[in-house]
Amino acid sequence: MEKLIINGPTPLKGEVNISGAKNSAVAILPATLLIDGVCTINNVPNIMDVKLSCQILEGLGAKIKWIDKNSIEIDTRNITNTIAPIDLTRKFRASYYLIGSMLGRKKEIEVGLPGGCNLGARPIDQHIKGFEALGAEVEITGGNVRATAKHLIGSNIYMDIVSVGATINVMLASVLAEGTTIIDNAAKEPHIVDIANFLNTMGADIRGAGTDMIKINGVKSLKGGQSYSVVPDQIEAGTFMLAAIASKGDLIIKNCITKHLECITAKILEIGGNVDMNGDKLRVWCDKRPSKAIIKTLPYPGFPTDLQPQMGVVLSLAEGTSIINESIWESRFQYTNELNKMGAQITAQGKSAIFEGVTKLSGASVYSTDLRAGAALIVAGIAAEGRTEVYNLEHIDRGYENIEEKFRNIGADIVRVVE
Ligand code: EPU
């Protein structure tokens, strides 16, 4: 078993480069199934979820060639299977994008019900509603999802809730459908725009991504023959921004889209941190104890749920009493038990948590309960006094590229060891 050993506290200082967005890459890779050709994807984060996505694509007949550690050439001319490697699809959430892509490409697909972080109930009813509106039949049996269609015909689809996954999945299924599809009450996250840009680069006709109404005019085929670069990871950038604040450090965060970080910047400024945006980089620093805040997680452009645990670390060290209301996931406060082992004073109940700010955290052995919880525990270990051991690294490795090396390069005393 691997663990991270962190000795703190260390004020983080220096420059860090942001990788391509995980949640974009894990949708773009299955989206390549819509292409009858070859394409190259650059700025791909080298993480477990991407490696799994590649294995699944190969299982369906795609040919994958890693050009370097962040670039992949994908040949999807010969897609032979319509049953995805079931065990692999159960290992992560984004395998649900195979349904939209393969419905578009082959009108048929079977995948395992998607797994991923345990954040409470994660239904896919809005995905299914969209596929059915386009003319597909969807059946869930024996833990698998099977979707088939004779024809896919464009439709007007109103999403009952704002869902990132359902918006992307229905967009994927409608790219090669006959006629026009309109997705109303669509999610607006940066990676939705990224996936639409990718598909348009390959020949699709998608308009309005990034607004709450997306219009997809079906095209006959996607030819590929192009390269595309994945957008920088908003959540990785936000994780380092909050690490700078929690550790009272001073970081230059490079290769990011500062517009995507405004929702985080606003809260950092409110609690007394500093942010200076400059082109595709920003400087974040903090030289005093942050002050309390009230946070509610919301779909983009609201405060992202995927930065809630990292912000929780900052607020556990802030002056005064803070409140976080988690409005996206039922069960995203599991990390607070681990932070309390480090001396935090957090009371979590249901979808709310109260943070009585403490002046210091102390090192302890802690367990990541999910991906972002794991990132938050690393940040806590860097800010805490003494030795912290972080376990269950498989969650963290699913979504962060070289995380300990990136933190080491900005001064953290962090090593990975095999126990
Ligand atoms: N929901 C439904 N029905 C659906 C779909 C969603 O009720 O058919 C509910 C969910 O239960 C949740 C809310 O709608 O309460 C929003 O879920 P959404 O569909 O937006 O989430 P997702 O697509 O499953 C993606 C990210 C998550 C991120 C959320 C919210 C991927 C692979 N995952 O999940 O990322 O938290 O959007 O921004 O893109 C992470 O990276 O750590 C992570 C969990």
Residue 359 CA to its chain's centroid (Å): 31
Domain shared by 183 and 275, yes or no: no
pLDDT 10s digits, 64-114: 999 999 999 999 999 999 999 999 999 888 999 999 999 999 999 999 987
- Does residue 334 share a domain with residue 297? yes
For residue 122, the CA-to-ligand 1 centroid distance in Å is: 7
121 in the same domain as 32: yes
What pLDDT digit, counting tens, does each position of 359-397 carry?
A: 999 999 999 999 999 999 999 999 999 999 999 999 999
Q: Residue 38 has which token pair? A: 């070859």
Q: Which residues form the domain of 108?
A: 22-229
The mean per-residue pLDDT over the stretch 338-363 comes to 97
* 214 within 8 A of 206, measured Cβ to Cβ: yes
**197 shares its domain with 282:** no
Task: Tell me the pLDDT band of 143, cut-offs 50, 70 and 90.
Answer: confident
Ligand 1 contact, 147 CB (< 6 A): no
Q: What is the pLDDT of residue 163?
A: 97
Last residue of a domain, one of 200, 229, 258: 229
218 with 239, same domain? Answer: no
Same domain, 168 and 255: no
Q: Which of 205, 229, 253 is the last residue of a domain?
A: 229
Residues whose CB is less than 8 angstroms from the CB of residue 359 and which lie 6 or more positions away in sequence, other chains included:
289, 317
| Region 275-290 average pLDDT | 96
Question: Residue 137: phi, psi to the nearest 5?
Answer: -110, 135
Position 122 scores a pLDDT of 81
The pLDDT assigned to 419 comes to: 84
- Same domain assignment for residues 380 and 399: yes
pLDDT tens for 11-24 read 999 999 999 999 99
**Is residue 287 exposed (0-12), middle (13-18) or buried (19+ Cβ within 10 Å)?**
exposed
pLDDT tens digits, residue range 240-250? 999 999 999 99
The per-residue pLDDT for range 23-76, each reduced to its tens digit, is: 999 999 999 999 999 999 999 999 999 999 999 999 999 999 999 999 999 999
Q: What is the pLDDT of residue 142?
A: 87
173 and 74 inside one domain: yes
pLDDT of residue 114: 78
Q: Which residues are catalytic?
A: 117
* Mean pLDDT taken over the chain: 96
Q: CB neighbours (10 Å) of residue 389?
A: 17
Ligand 1 atom at shortest distance from the alpha carbon of 120 = 11
The reply to whether 317 and 285 lie within a common domain is yes
Q: Are residues 117 and 206 in the same domain?
A: yes
The whole-number pLDDT of residue 119 equals 73
Name the residue among 360, 284, 250 with its Cα closest to residue 12: 250
Question: Atom 10 in ligand 1: which residue has the minimum CA distance?
Answer: 122
Please report the pLDDT score of residue 116 as a whole number: 66
* Matching residue, tokens 């900052």: 314
Is residue 117 in contact with ligand 1, taking CB distance under 6 Å?
yes
- Can you tell me the distance from the alpha carbon of 254 to that of 26, in angstroms, rounded to the nearest whole number? 22
Q: Indicate left, alpha or beta for 203 from its phi (over 0: left) and psi (-120 to 50: alpha).
A: left
Q: Tell me the residue type at 59.
A: G
* Alpha carbon of 140 to ligand 1 centroid (Å): 19
Structure confidence by residue, pLDDT tens digits, 185-223: 999 999 999 999 999 999 999 999 999 999 999 999 998
Same domain? For 200 and 317 the reply is: no
**Average pLDDT estimate for 149-157:** 98
CATH number at residue 173: 3.65.10.10
Please check whether residue 30 is in contact with residue 53, taking contact to mean a CB–CB distance below 8 angstroms.
yes
Q: How many domains does the chain have?
A: 2
Nearest to 369 by CA among 41, 119, 170: 119
CA of 274 to the centre of ligand 1 (A): 30
Last residue of a domain, one of 229, 248, 266: 229
